[in-house]
Amino acid sequence: MGERGFHLEKEIIPVKFALVEKVLDLARANSLWPVTFGLACCAIEMMAAAMSRFDLDRFGAGVFRASPRQGDLMIVTGTVTKKMAPVLTTLYEQMPSPKWVIAMGNCAISGGPFVFEGQYNLVEGVDLLVPVDVYVPGCPPRPEALLEGFLKLEEKITGTRRFPRVESAW
Amino acid sequence: MVNDLLKLAGSDAGKMVIGLVGVLLFVVVNALLLTWAERKIAGHMQRRIGPKEVGPFGLIQPIADALKLLGKEILTPAKVDKPLYYLAPTLIFVPVLVSFIVIPFDASLQVADINVGILVILAFSSITILSILMAGWGSENKYSLIGAIRSVAQNIAYEIPMLLALLPVVMLANSLSLREIVEKQQGLWFVVIQPLAFIIYFIAGVAETNRTPFDLPEAESELVAGYHTEYSGMRFALFFLAEYTNIFIVSAIAATFFLGGYQGPVLPGIVWFLLKSYLLVFVIIWLRWTYPRVRFDQLLNFAWKGLIPLAFLNLLITGGLLKI
Amino acid sequence: MVNGLIEEIKARVMGAEPVEVSYTEKGYHCALETSPDKLSGVVGFFDEKRFYLECLLCTDYTDYLELVYLFNTHLAPCRVKVALKIDPEHPVAPSIAAQYASAYWYEREIHEFYGVLFTGHPNMAYLFLHNGIDHYPMRKTKVPVPSEDQARLDSFKPGEEEDTFFINLGPQHPSTHGVLRVVLKMDGEYIERAEPVLGYLHRMHEKMAENRTYQQFLPNTGRMDYLGAMSFNLGYVLAVERLCAIPVPDRAKFVRIIATELNRICSHLLWVGAYLADLGALTPFLFVFDDREQILDVLEGVAGSRLTYCYFRFGGLYNDVDDEFIAGTRAFVKRMWSRFSLYEKLVTGNVIFINRTRGIGTIAKEQARKYGVSGPVLRSAGIACDLRKIESYSAYDGLEFDIPVGGHGDVLDTYKIRIAEMENSLRIIEQALAKLPGGPFMAEKVPKKLKPPRGDVYQVVETPRGELGIYIVSDESDGPFRMKWRVPSFSNLMIFPELAQGVLLADAVAILGSLDLVIPEIDR
Ligand code: SF4
């Protein structure tokens, strides 16, 4: 176990409904409704990912819900400050489980470009507040990167990957 | 055994049960289909594709959504007024189901032909307001409460022109039964005689379903999600279901009253009926993705100062002409 | 103008010794020192002369704190720097919030970052910082926050009165486009009082600048206002170039203009979309993003990023533009010209839209001056103040464009102005492309390590949202001693509480949207 963040105990379910669980997971992976939670610059790229060129809705993830009660996924897009931290935790707690978190951008991952000695207003990484499932690095990450993040999350939920992985040319 | 069942099915009570099951099925299928259609149509209007990866053309998408909502944690916020909070999403279904009972899908496809059909629909549709108010009050959330209050004001304001727009048709048809109204339109659809009433009804109908440009109770930029802000999972799905069913009902009534219901050449009646209804549903979706939202006072002014006098005038003229 | 003013100040304000300074070197025309007891007289003079308070800032020189008031006029630039030295042990200064509404927030800001107490200020509550801060962050030495100041942290506590209904717009709310929080005291659907609470995205840019070298701070500029990143970039490099007297080749000047104007269109487009989404129409949002992507493609080709550009360097550019960029820009300009009619049909011709925006959030000229608003919001009030023309920088003076102004000052005007500004930006781009000279894109011999002479400079640019001012103090080291950003959204937001009073909730959302706020820029 690492130093940072949360480590949730795996929930113990006495009886496993294997098939039901599987079907539900499949449904969940294909219907990840994000909570509208734009923080800073990265939020614009998140919006861009939902727009015509990238269209998150193709994967059923385009239904941005304004109320945390109706979302499944919180995309933390940007810098989390100490003043914002309690709000973020409350929002996370208001979401009904199962719920997931994507940390989008360097700020959400580690504080990004704003870490310096003597800083007084920054939470250095959202994983200090809530458990994070997928990290999408970049400053800001391109919309493609966020899409990849979604695919990763789907893979995490169902265990299978939607598209064949693109091999790097390098 | 089989015979018994058939006999049972033939009886009045049996018919009712079969009808109810059918209606429930239709409600669910309709809502699933409409959510898919809405996202797809919105997508294409917005130069994108919409759901595509889940099943062919994304057709499985609504099922995945529904299953997901089913599988969500059942979450009750700590401060809510429990009885109201629990009851609201269920209660919103009563008017929906009742309305379906009297709508004639085809000449012989109707759960029950009540001779005051339209009154039943209008009377019960007021319950929707009640449940919205319950949801808003019970949620202990300011956004919900404002949303609910807006909704009540809006629905009361638009119920009147809605009724007034339907009355001329009742006068023309000389009946309150929906099936008879359809039968009277054999030669000529009432929309030809009553274009104004049709438009007034349709506008009021869009307002009744809380859709853009009249979606104030849910105005996202002002009230987050309006009266269902605090609802999650299956309870939220019920509101969703009711909303889409309501859209269909408004369109179906418009089709029945003004567009000749199931009447039409060649194709079977039910096909005509669904065709007309879904055409109107499409228009409602189209409006939503085109227009901004009106302001609260503008909305009420429009109803009280615009639609209601106009509807009265229309009623008077129709009455006068009928007398002559 | 400057000479006459200096004479007049000498004659009218007792004991004031204004001196003229070189605008090209400093970025302001006239400097003047005053003392706490004379301040109100000086301020009163400027108020009478219809100056607006451009900026109010504080610098900690360890043995004294210096408050700097920058006054300027809208149509004929005449920037006056009024300096006021105060004791760091007992930092107290008279408040001028009664004369200039814009000082109300600036003084609060200085109070929480430097601990300066302004006597006579109606509400010294904290604006930015979080609970649990224990020192004044911008002071050079660590000064602990006294306990009576700790109590001021929560600036607005709703729920004190019984029968009132408070609504929290934000910090996470769809209509604030970010993390602004506005506490609304409601009377039914009407707003009795609105109180913005800032600081949810305070990223300490100004503090960071003091810990960085000039080059290292460059990427921060694009992150401050991520929608108008090019303008912020430009402002910063211009300021440093002024400070170190670095010449810029002509080619670089023109490329800078093209890139900045493309970015401006991008920003305005996004505003149009987001604003209509506020009003409930979602489809235009996607249409504008479609156009926006075309710009991003072009800019990405030369700047390397889609959003948080860092394209300009001291003395020039990061790299030269290629034919692809020029062809891409031409193609975009052509496409964009044909798109306006579509927006006209989709939006401007829409009755609901017109009825939602006409006559709402009306700003009068005097009000605009008192609050120091700038950009399209100011121009909507009928004041044709565009710094590209009035205090021309780069090569804007050689290009032809109009300053669209409104007549009513309402929200609809700001919409029309922004659309017209996009058209003018296209014109600027066309001219700049036609005039684009050859030659180097980077000044020769810009030292790797900048060591500017001691002193301060001020530099303004017109960003998509209005006037951006950058004030840099150098102490001959390779990093700034103090850097203050006078950001447009901050001043524009100040006017919101007054505009929102007594309007419907829906109108408040429409007004807030029309200000085109970018929160990280306000919070810095
Ligand atoms: S990671 Fe970069 S782009 Fe994203 S919020 Fe932080 S600074 Fe902005």
pLDDT band at A15, cuts 50/70/90?
A: low
Q: What is the dihedral of CA B88, B93, B96, B99, to 10 degrees?
A: -110
Does A115 contact B at CB distance below 8 Å? no
- Ligand 1 centre to CA of A42 (Å) is 5
- Looking at CATH, the fold of the domain delimited by C2-119 is given as Beta Polymerase; domain 2 (3.30.460)
- Indicate whether residue A145 lines ligand 1 (CB < 6 A): no
Query: CB–CB of B51 and A65 under 8 A?
Result: no
pLDDT at B111: 66
Query: CB–CB of C279 and B293 under 8 A?
Result: yes
The shortest CB-CB distance from A84 to any of C137, C200, C207 is to C200
Query: CB–CB of A98 and B46 under 8 A?
Result: no
The shortest CB-CB distance from B48 to any of A55, A65, A97 is to A55
Q: Whose CA is nearest to atom 5 of ligand 1?
A: A78
- Indicate whether residue A115 lines ligand 1 (CB < 6 A): no
- Ligand 1 centre to CA of A77 (Å) is 8
Q: Where are the domains of chain C?
A: 2-119, 205-330+389-397+436-523
The shortest CB-CB distance from C281 to any of B222, B291, B296 is to B291
Which tens digits make up the pLDDT trace of A49-99? 888 888 888 887 877 877 788 888 888 888 888 888 888 888 888 888 788
- Ligand 1 centre to CA of B308 (Å) is 53
| CA–CA separation, C522 and C524 (whole Å) | 6
Query: CB–CB of B63 and A27 under 8 A?
Result: yes
ipTM rounded to 2 decimals? 0.80
Query: CB–CB of A69 and B224 under 8 A?
Result: no
Chain C residues within 8 angstroms (CB to CB) of chain B: 165-167, 173-175, 189, 276-283, 286-287, 290, 346, 350, 352-353, 355-356, 504-507, 509, 513
pLDDT at C68: 87
The shortest CB-CB distance from C174 to any of B48, B213, B224 is to B224
User: Is residue A164 reached through a cis peptide bond, with omega within 30 degrees of 0 on the bond before it?
Assistant: no
Q: Under 8 Å CB-to-CB from A126, ≥6 apart: which residues?
A: A76, A80, A88, A101, A103, A108, A109, A132
In chain A, where does DSSP find H-type helix? 18-29, 41-50, 85-94, 106-110, 143-158
How many beta-carbon pairs below 8 A join chains A and B?
98
| Residue A106 scores a pLDDT above 70 | yes
Does C384 contact A at CB distance below 8 Å? no
Contact residues on chain C for B224, CB-CB shorter than 8 A: 173-174
| CA–CA separation, C304 and C358 (whole Å) | 41
Query: CB–CB of A79 and C308 under 8 A?
Result: no
pLDDT at C175: 52
- Ligand 1 centre to CA of A112 (Å) is 7
pLDDT at B234: 80
User: C230: number of CA atoms within 13 Å, CB side?
Assistant: 26
Q: Whose CA is nearest to atom 6 of ligand 1?
A: A107
Per-residue pLDDT averaged across B206-228, rounded?
72
Query: CB–CB of A60 and B53 under 8 A?
Result: yes
Cβ neighbour number for residue C45 with a 10 Å cutoff: 17
| Residue A11 scores a pLDDT above 70 | no
CATH code for the structural domain at C205-330+389-397+436-523: 1.10.645.10
HEC letters along chain B: CHHHHHHHHHCHHHHHHHHHHHHHHHHHHHHHHHHHHHHHHHHHHCCCCCCCCCCHHHCCHHHHHHHHHHCCCCCCCCCCCHHHHHHHHHHCHHHHHHHHHHCCCCCCCCCCCCCCHHHHHHHHHHHHHHHHHHHHHHCCCHHHHHHHHHHHHHHHHHHHHHHHHHHHHHHHHCCCCHHHHHHHCCCCCHHHHCHHHHHHHHHHHHHHCCCCCCCHHHCHHHHCCHHHCCCCHHHHHHHHHHHHHHHHHHHHHHHHHHCCCCCCCCCCHHHHHHHHHHHHHHHHHHHHCCCCCCCHHHHHHHHHHHHHHHHHHHHHHHHHHHHC
| CA–CA separation, A170 and C33 (whole Å) | 62
Give counts: helices (H), strands (E), chain A.
Answer: 5, 4
Does A90 contact B at CB distance below 8 Å? no
- Indicate whether residue A44 lines ligand 1 (CB < 6 A): no
H or E element that contains C504: none
Q: Which of C138, C198, C308 to mutate to probe the A interface, most A CBs <10 Å?
A: C308
- Indicate whether residue A29 lines ligand 1 (CB < 6 A): no
Per the structure block, which two tokens stand in for C120? 């006579």
Contact residues on chain C for A40, CB-CB shorter than 8 A: 178-179, 201, 203, 223, 226, 519-520
Query: CB–CB of C308 and A139 under 8 A?
Result: yes
Q: Under 8 Å CB-to-CB from C186, ≥6 apart: which residues?
A: C164, C165, C166, C167, C192, C505
Closest among B276, B246, B249 to B263, alpha carbons compared: B276
| CA–CA separation, C368 and C31 (whole Å) | 25
Main-chain phi, psi angles of A35, to 5 degrees: -80, 135
Query: CB–CB of C289 and A53 under 8 A?
Result: yes
Ordered by where they begin, the domains of chain A are: 34-158 (3.40.50.12280)
| CA–CA separation, C162 and A101 (whole Å) | 38
CA-angle at C192, arms to C191 and C193, nearest 5°: 100
Tokens 């209660």 found at? B91
- Ligand 1 centre to CA of B69 (Å) is 32
Which tens digits make up the pLDDT trace of A55-66? 888 887 877 877
Q: Whose CA is nearest to atom 8 of ligand 1?
A: A41
Contact residues on chain C for A43, CB-CB shorter than 8 A: 178
For chain C, which residues score pLDDT lower than 70?
Answer: 1, 14-15, 148-164, 170-178
The shortest CB-CB distance from A58 to any of B47, B49, B68 is to B49
- Ligand 1 centre to CA of A105 (Å) is 6
pLDDT band at A5, cuts 50/70/90?
A: very low
Main-chain phi, psi angles of C80, to 5 degrees: -115, 130
Return the residue of B nearest to A98 by Cα.
Answer: B72
Which tens digits make up the pLDDT trace of B9-34? 666 777 777 777 877 888 888 888 88
* Ligand 1 atom closest to Cα of residue A114: 7
- Indicate whether residue A43 lines ligand 1 (CB < 6 A): no
| Residue B167 scores a pLDDT above 70 | yes
pLDDT at A3: 46
Query: CB–CB of C280 and B45 under 8 A?
Result: no
* Ligand 1 atom closest to Cα of residue A40: 5
pLDDT at B1: 57
Query: CB–CB of C178 and A40 under 8 A?
Result: yes
pLDDT at A1: 35
pLDDT at C178: 65
